[in-house]
Chains A and B, each alone.
Chain A
Amino acid sequence: MEHIAGNPNAPVFGIAAEVSSAAELYHAAEKVRDAGYRRWDVYSPFPIHGMDQAMGLRKSWLSALVFLGGVAGLTTAVILQFYPSSFEYPLIVAGKPVNFFTVPAFFPIMFELTVLISAFTATFGMIILNGLPRWHHPIFSWDRFKKVTNDGFFLAIEATDPRFDKESTRELLEGIGARHITLIHDDA
Chain B
Amino acid sequence: MSEGTAVMDASSAAAKRIERAPLVTNNRTMSWISDRVASCTERRAPTWWWITFTLTSSLAVVSLLCIAYLISTGVGVWGLNHPIGWAWDITNFVFWIGIGHAGTLISAILYLARQKWRTSINRAAEAMTLFAVVCAGIFPMIHVGRIWMVWFLAPVPTSMGIWQNFRSPLLWDVFAVSTYFTVSILFWYTGLVPDLATLRDRATTKIRKFFYGIGALGWRGGNRQWKHYEMAYLILAGLSTPLVLSVHSVVSFDFATSVIPGWHTTIFPPYFVAGAIFGGFAMVLTIMLPARAIFGLHDLITDDHVDKMCKIILLTGSMVGYAYAMEFFIAWYGGNLFEQYAFINRATGPYWWAYWSMIFCNVVSPQLFWFRRMRRHVLPVFIVCMFVNAGMWFERFVIIVTSLHRDFLPSSWNMFYPTWVDIWTFTGTFGIFLTLFLLFIRWLPMICIFEVKAVLPEADPHYHGHHKATIEGGGH
Q: List chain A positions with a Cβ less than 8 A from chain B.
A: 21-23, 25-26, 29, 41-52, 54-55, 57, 59-60, 62-63, 66, 80-81, 84-85, 88-89, 91, 93, 96, 102, 105-106, 108-109, 111-113, 115-116, 118-120, 122-123, 125-127, 129-130, 132-137, 139-140, 146-151
Q: Which of B244-286 contact A (CB under 8 A)?
A: 246, 250, 253
> Which residues of the partner chain B approach A130 to less than 8 Å between Cβ atoms?
224-225, 228-229
Q: Are B227 and A115 in contact (CB under 8 A)?
A: no
- Pick the contact of A46: B163, B218, B235, B453 (CB < 8 A): B453
**In the assembled complex, B458 has its CB within 8 A of some CB on chain A:** yes
Report A171 CB to chain B, min CB distance, Å.
23
Report A79 CB to chain B, min CB distance, Å.
11
Closest B residue, CB atoms, query A91:
B165
**In the assembled complex, B303 has its CB within 8 A of some CB on chain A:** no
Interface residues on chain B, size class:
35 or more
Q: Are A96 and B239 in contact (CB under 8 A)?
A: no
7 sampled A-B residue pairs with Cβ under 8 A: A21-B463, A45-B30, A108-B250, A108-B253, A115-B179, A119-B187, A149-B200
Docked CA distance A51–B460 (Å)? 11
> Which residues of the partner chain A approach B217 to less than 8 Å between Cβ atoms?
127, 132-134
> Which residues of the partner chain A approach B239 to less than 8 Å between Cβ atoms?
115, 118-119, 122
Docked CA distance A62–B225 (Å)? 12
Q: Are A93 and B227 in contact (CB under 8 A)?
A: no
Q: Are B224 and A57 in contact (CB under 8 A)?
A: yes
**In the assembled complex, B197 has its CB within 8 A of some CB on chain A:** yes
- Pick the contact of A96: B167, B171, B242 (CB < 8 A): B167
Closest B residue, CB atoms, query A88:
B163
**In the assembled complex, B86 has its CB within 8 A of some CB on chain A:** no
Q: Which of B350-408 contact A (CB under 8 A)?
A: none
> Which residues of the partner chain B approach A51 to less than 8 Å between Cβ atoms?
223, 226, 461
- Pick the contact of A119: B186, B198, B246, B454 (CB < 8 A): B186
B302-340, CB under 8 A of A: which get 1 and which 0?
000000000000000000000000000000000000000
Q: Are B183 and A115 in contact (CB under 8 A)?
A: yes
Q: Are B243 and A115 in contact (CB under 8 A)?
A: yes
> Which residues of the partner chain A approach B190 to less than 8 Å between Cβ atoms?
122-123, 126
- Pick the contact of A109: B166, B202, B454 (CB < 8 A): B166
- Pick the contact of A126: B165, B228, B450, B464 (CB < 8 A): B228
Docked CA distance A46–B451 (Å)? 7
**In the assembled complex, B20 has its CB within 8 A of some CB on chain A:** no
- Pick the contact of A150: B31, B166, B232, B242 (CB < 8 A): B31
Docked CA distance A60–B226 (Å)? 10
> Which residues of the partner chain A approach B243 to less than 8 Å between Cβ atoms?
112, 115
Q: Is the interface of B mostly helix, strand, loop or mixed?
A: helix
Closest A residue, CB atoms, query B182:
A116
Report B69 CB to chain A, min CB distance, Å.
33
Q: Are B175 and A112 in contact (CB under 8 A)?
A: yes
Q: Are B31 and A85 in contact (CB under 8 A)?
A: no
- Pick the contact of A112: B155, B179, B240, B451 (CB < 8 A): B179
> Which residues of the partner chain A approach B76 to less than 8 Å between Cβ atoms?
none
Interface centre among A25, A106, A109, A119 (most CB of B within 10 A): A119
Q: Are A151 and B167 in contact (CB under 8 A)?
A: no
Docked CA distance A80–B225 (Å)? 36
Q: Are B461 and A22 in contact (CB under 8 A)?
A: yes
Whether A63 contacts B458 in the complex (CB less than 8 A), given A130-B229, A133-B217, A151-B29, comes out as: no
> Which residues of the partner chain B approach A133 to less than 8 Å between Cβ atoms?
214, 217-218
Docked CA distance A186–B225 (Å)? 20
Q: Are B29 and A49 in contact (CB under 8 A)?
A: no
Closest A residue, CB atoms, query B169:
A108
Q: Are A45 and B232 in contact (CB under 8 A)?
A: no
Q: Are B175 and A109 in contact (CB under 8 A)?
A: yes
Q: Are A149 and B461 in contact (CB under 8 A)?
A: no
Whether A52 contacts B223 in the complex (CB less than 8 A), given A115-B243, A119-B182, A123-B186, comes out as: yes
> Which residues of the partner chain B approach A111 to less than 8 Å between Cβ atoms?
242, 246
> Which residues of the partner chain A approach B410 to less than 8 Å between Cβ atoms?
none
Q: Are A151 and B30 in contact (CB under 8 A)?
A: yes
Q: Are B246 and A108 in contact (CB under 8 A)?
A: yes
Q: Are B220 and A139 in contact (CB under 8 A)?
A: yes
Report B171 CB to chain A, min CB distance, Å.
8
Interface centre among B172, B236, B461, B463 (most CB of A within 10 A): B461
Q: Are B222 and A50 in contact (CB under 8 A)?
A: no
Docked CA distance A137–B243 (Å)? 37
Interface centre among B163, B169, B227, B243 (most CB of A within 10 A): B227
> Which residues of the partner chain B approach A84 to less than 8 Å between Cβ atoms?
155, 157, 163
B450-472, CB under 8 A of A: which get 1 and which 0?
11011000111111100000000
Closest B residue, CB atoms, query A148:
B221
> Which residues of the partner chain A approach B200 to less than 8 Å between Cβ atoms?
149
Q: Are A43 and B220 in contact (CB under 8 A)?
A: yes
**In the assembled complex, B194 has its CB within 8 A of some CB on chain A:** yes
Whether A149 contacts B194 in the complex (CB less than 8 A), given A25-B461, A130-B225, comes out as: yes
